[in-house]
Amino acid sequence: MSWLTVLPILIPLTTAVFAALAWQNLPAQRVIGLIGATALFVLSVVLMVVVWQDGVLAAQMGAWPAPFGITLVVDNLSAAMVVITGITGLAVAVYSIADIGRVEANAGFHPMLHFLLAGVSGAFVTGDIFNLYVWFEVMLIASFALLVVGGGRAQFDGAVKYVALNLFSTVMFLSAVGLLYGMTGTLNLADLHMKVREVENTGLLAAVAVMFLVAFGIKSAVFPLFFWLPASYHTPPVAVSAIFSALLTKVGVYALIRVFTLVFSPEALGEAFDWIQTLLLWIAALTMITGVLGAAAQTEIRRILSFHIISQIGYMIMGLALYTALGIVGAVFYILHHIIVKANLFLVSGVANRLTGSYDLKKIGGLYKSKPFLAVLFLIPAFSLAGFPPLSGFWAKYVLIKAGLEVDAYWIVAAALVVGLLTIFSMTKIWAEAFWKPHPGGDGAIAVTVDRGAMLALTLPIAALALITVAIGLYAEPLLSLAERAAGELMDPAAYVRAVLGAGA
């Protein structure tokens, strides 16, 4: 069954190639994109089921035995991340039918979307740290192209900042990989798990750990390294913003969780781990707070949502920083819930813009009166983001706060609760301005005559994602046990190491 691990990369790559061959042929590209995204989603579910039943899957590329070749490894965390990639990829592929026109398609939207999915899936399934760097770059170059697709002025402005800071982060990542290789002589993550313990100079190891922290910190937009995100995420078409908000920062968080459980574990770093943990806790708290305060100051829907990504990243880092089994469960659960909710909110903002003509809250309104169903579809992810029961966000926050209380980290719990309250403030602001108050241009300013087919393509993914949010909220048990199993594998990577290096390790 180990060949299954290759497919999450292979399917989107093939789709991208076919979509590129169908350049200038928009209908064909849409069909190819839909087929590819559906295939990736189905495969990801199969992969999840197999990993759930049989445990960690590993495949040695080119039949080079493990630590010498590149290994692809899928544990429960990787499989869950690939599933969530499949879900959001499919949602965006459907949404893009109505959102992405000829201009963006001719600039390469469809192939680049699938290259992005390939890069993201590759980062999730690889078990080799240099290969992780390569997948980061695949993801990055695809995201560059997607960010400027259509070529608006604001897009170039945002892209300059996005490109500059992310390139810096990859150089940092690359140097850190080089130094780690110099100390341990291996690049395989499972092998690194063993070899880092033999490094005598733990101070040097801690320095490299912090380099990884900075590199992945820029990727995952933590305080104070997040400035590229609010500068760029609101500029591209909504389909692009949605897939960015869902996946890109989360790959950074995933990488942080992976290296700080598998490689830079407390056993490897010794005392240095304690202050890195304290550093992570501070980063988590400050990320939450600055993100939510930044959002409070904005009046553009997509910019509000962008700042909320930052604030939510803080919660995930909090789970990692607590470094207890329950904390990691919370972080994993939070990532899975957040991806669905955040992508959905961006998709809703796109529909709101299409109906009212602007993203600026001052210029729009009246959506509740004209589209009550859309208002409900907005409320579900918005309240889930803020953490209202019985939606998915409630359980995510509940687990994290319980984990915080367990280790008496009261101040981070207090920060998490206050940030939750402020999130409600932002969400009610969007609700009151975009949905509740009348449109400043009068009722006639709302376009009610959007093409039915286009409206269906726009609403279907939103409704599906909202349904998932409600389903997780009402029946959180399966996802929670998945997060528990993933966290168990992270905290005790014996199964992971055995799957990669064989029974002898």
Partner 1 sequence: MDALLALTVGVLVSGAVYLMLSRHLVRFLFGLILLSNAANLVIFASGRTTLALPPLVPDGLEAPAVTVANALPQALILTAIVIGFGLLAFAMVLAYRAYQSLGTVDTDAMRVAEPDVNGAGEAAEEPAPARSEAA
Binding residues (CB under 8 A) for partner 1: these are 26, 97-104, 130, 133-134, 137, 140-141, 144-145, 148, 150-161, 163-164, 167-168, 170-171, 174-175, 177-179, 181-183, 230-232, 234-235, 237, 454
Q: How far apart are CA 353 and CA 447, in angstroms?
A: 10
Paired tokens of 496: 């992971």
Q: Which residue's structure tokens are 């961006």?
A: 346
Residue 53's Cβ-side half-sphere holds a number of Cα atoms within 13 Å equal to 6
Query: Toward partner 1, which CB reaches closer, 44 or 235?
Result: 235
Q: How far is the CB of 160 from partner 1 (least distance, A)?
A: 5
Q: How far is the CB of 431 from partner 1 (least distance, A)?
A: 22
Rounded CA separation 400/416 (Å) = 9
Which residues, in sequence order, are CB contacts of 373 under 8 Å at separation 6+? 459
Nearer residue to partner 1 within complex by CB, 161 or 437? 161
From the CB of 208, what's the least distance to partner 1, in Å?
Answer: 11
Pick between residue 150 and residue 404 the one whose CB is nearest to partner 1.
150
Task: Name every residue whose Cβ is closer than 8 Å to that of residue 498 and which is 6 or more positions away in sequence.
Answer: 56, 505
- DSSP H helices, 357-451, are 367-370, 372-386, 392-406, 410-430
CB of 270 to partner 1, least distance (A): 22
Task: Identify whether the C-beta of residue 316 lies closer than 8 Å to the C-beta of residue 287.
Answer: no
- Report the nearest approach of partner 1 to the CB of residue 99 (Å): 6
Residue closer to partner 1, measured from CB, 263 or 285:
263
Give Cα 446 to chain centroid, integer Å. 33
Query: Closest approach of Cβ 202 to partner 1, in Å?
Result: 18
Minimum CB distance to partner 1 smaller for 188 or for 220 = 188
Nearer to partner 1, 443 or 451 (CB): 451
Q: Helix, strand, coil proportions of the chain in percent (round to 5)?
A: 80, 5, 20
Residue 452 buriedness (CB in 10 A; 0-12 / 13-18 / 19+): exposed
Tell me if 206 sits within 8 A of 271, measured CB to CB.
Answer: no
Provide, rounded to whole angstroms, the least separation between the CB of residue 292 and partner 1: 18
- Nearest residue (CB) to partner 1, 129 versus 329: 129
